[in-house]
Amino acid sequence: MPDDRRLVFIIGGARSGKSAHAERLIEASPAPWIYVATGQAFDGEMEDRIAEHKARRDQRWRTIEAPLELATALRDVPDGEPVLVDCLTLWLSNQILAECDVGKESARLVEVLAAPRGPWFVVSNEVGLGIVPDNALARRFRDAAGRLNQEVAAVADEVLLMAAGLPIKVK
Amino acid sequence: MPDDRRLVFIIGGARSGKSAHAERLIEASPAPWIYVATGQAFDGEMEDRIAEHKARRDQRWRTIEAPLELATALRDVPDGEPVLVDCLTLWLSNQILAECDVGKESARLVEVLAAPRGPWFVVSNEVGLGIVPDNALARRFRDAAGRLNQEVAAVADEVLLMAAGLPIKVK
Amino acid sequence: MPDDRRLVFIIGGARSGKSAHAERLIEASPAPWIYVATGQAFDGEMEDRIAEHKARRDQRWRTIEAPLELATALRDVPDGEPVLVDCLTLWLSNQILAECDVGKESARLVEVLAAPRGPWFVVSNEVGLGIVPDNALARRFRDAAGRLNQEVAAVADEVLLMAAGLPIKVK
């Protein structure tokens, strides 16, 4: 087993610099790096966002798409390889849209994240600091995201909250 | 008068683990503990949330319902007893719906909180970190909640901001 | 050139005490102080908010209105004078409404802020910690605000995140 086994959890708002910070952190470990993408491009706005993230990464990265089967994808990554998961909230959103059992799928994912087999960096959005949303689906998503973030933070070795591109060490 | 008199103020977003953390903190003081509930069940969603919170508490807790008369309820708790108020934003929301004088009621409440007579733990939501809400009532609530949080934090001995279930010490 | 040249960046949610804290900080430097206002009163609510902010300031303050030409206004302030800019998100909102080139104008502004010529205090809203907004303009504003906050934080000497009126030191 590799020596450097740890879970670093990076949370923050939209455009708070979560992904860029996670990339800076992972680059302290030797390449190649595995990028686990959970986003799906449903529209032009999302396509632009994915393209912008991709443009930052070069051939030292290997990309795995895991919009739904994230726990399985993580089980399959080689021991010791640095992994960046970007991001949990998109995965959760995909789970809800696909009408999966969110509680069960979250538990499966947290079980894998609790035993990282290398330096693993996981990005997630904090979405609970605004006014209560009008629509029930948004409230359900907000609750599920908050619960998942708590569960992942509980098993993480380090938790960072991003604000304006800067990390606040929470754990 | 008891020796352990202090106000601990726990703020955070939805599902950030505020209530659970406040419960862990109060359990460091000997039972019985007083739970001051401000929530009112208007619908099934709210009923579920209240039920979930209740399920965490056992017979060592005594519950007082104070959806509006929170200042009075706190004046009546016995000296030295640990108190958990959950939460200020629900109380504020009730005040606004009942068309009370929010400024005056907040001032009354803050006066009582400024002189805790035991270990008092107060939970509140941070709701001001999203986009400006479309509707005027939501903006008014957001402003009132922000002002109340500032006033309570100013008189608190300790202020914690919760993120993903973990406390950030602010004061 | 004056000795005390630094950029202090104060971010936070609505009613988190950003402006009041920035005013307390600037008052540690000798008066007169320059207040650079970016807000424009389009309606009664905004007028009230501006009036409330003005009521806190006395004749030791000189006010400059810069709803759009903020970079130019900052280039023109005398060397060594303490400056408070309140706030960047209103300026950004004005830029978007006036259909300016937000990327170019933000770059011009950041260039000036990167070379403060006295103790400069800049206030901005954090708006990205709620649910993804329904409408595209709000999402565009949220993205632009997040990017601008990151760019300003990167060149700032000190960054404070306000929560319930209290500062969390981020940088």
List residues of B whose CB lies inside 8 A of any A CB: 12-17, 45, 126-131, 133, 138, 141-142, 163-166, 168
Residues on chain C touching A126 (C-beta within 8 angstroms): 129
The reported pLDDT for the residue numbered B2 is: 61
- What are the backbone angles phi and psi of residue C166, rounded to the nearest 5°? -115, 140
**Nearest-CA distance from A51 to chain B in Å?**
25
Is a pLDDT exceeding 80 seen at residue C47?
no
Against chain C, the chains showing at least 3 CB pairs within 8 Å are: A, B
Is a pLDDT exceeding 70 seen at residue B1?
no
Average pLDDT over chain C reads 93
**Nearest-CA distance from B87 to chain A in Å?**
15
Taking a C-beta distance cutoff of 8 angstroms, is the pair A25, A121 a contact?
Answer: yes
The reported pLDDT for the residue numbered A47 is: 77
Taking a C-beta distance cutoff of 8 angstroms, is the pair B161, B123 a contact?
Answer: no
Q: Please report, for chain C, the start and end positions of each structural domain, with discontinuous segments joined by +.
A: 6-169
> pLDDT-based confidence at C2, cuts 50/70/90?
low
Positions of B annotated as catalytic residues are 53
The reported pLDDT for the residue numbered A44 is: 77
Q: Which residue has 């902010």 as its token pair?
A: C53
C-alpha span between B88 and B109 (Å, rounded): 10
pLDDT digits (tens, 9 = 90+) for B2-44: 689 999 999 999 999 999 999 999 999 999 999 999 988 767 7
Smallest Cβ–Cβ distance between B164 and the set A132, A143, A149 belongs to A149
Q: What is the mean pLDDT of residues A24-46?
A: 88
Q: What is the mean pLDDT of residues C138-158?
A: 97
Is a pLDDT exceeding 90 seen at residue C157?
yes
> pLDDT-based confidence at C1, cuts 50/70/90?
low
Residues on chain B touching A9 (C-beta within 8 angstroms): 164
Is a pLDDT exceeding 70 seen at residue B89?
yes
Q: Could you tell me which CATH number the domain at A6-169 has?
A: 3.40.50.300
**Nearest-CA distance from C58 to chain A in Å?**
32
Q: What is the mean pLDDT of residues A27-55?
A: 83
pLDDT digits (tens, 9 = 90+) for A102-137: 999 999 999 999 999 999 999 999 999 999 998 999
pLDDT digits (tens, 9 = 90+) for C77-104: 999 999 999 999 999 999 999 999 999 9
Residues on chain C touching A137 (C-beta within 8 angstroms): none
Listing DSSP states for chain A in one string gives: --S--EEEEEEE-TTSSHHHHHHHHHTTSPSPEEEEE-----SHHHHHHHHHHHHT--TTEEEEE-SS-HHHHHHHSPTT--EEEE-HHHHHHHHHHTT--HHHHHHHHHHHHTS-SSEEEEEEE---SSSPPSSHHHHHHHHHHHHHHHHHHHH-SEEEEEETTEEEE--
Pairing of strands B158-163, B166-169: antiparallel
List residues of C whose CB lies inside 8 A of any B CB: 12-17, 45, 126-131, 133, 138, 141-142, 163-166, 168
- What are the backbone angles phi and psi of residue B61, rounded to the nearest 5°? -100, 145
Is a pLDDT exceeding 90 seen at residue A99?
yes
C128 and A163 within 8 Å at the Cβ level: the answer is no
**Nearest-CA distance from A149 to chain B in Å?**
5
C11 and A142 within 8 Å at the Cβ level: the answer is no
Is a pLDDT exceeding 70 seen at residue B96?
yes
Average pLDDT over chain A reads 93
For residue C150, what is the nearest residue in chain A, using CA coordinates?
A: A164
3-state secondary structure at position B134: coil
Q: What is the mean pLDDT of residues C52-70?
A: 87
The reported pLDDT for the residue numbered C50 is: 73
pLDDT digits (tens, 9 = 90+) for B47-84: 777 777 777 778 899 999 999 999 999 999 999 999 99
B58 is in an annotated binding site: no
What the block records as the tokens of B60 is 């060592």
Q: How far is CA B122 from the centre of its chain?
A: 4
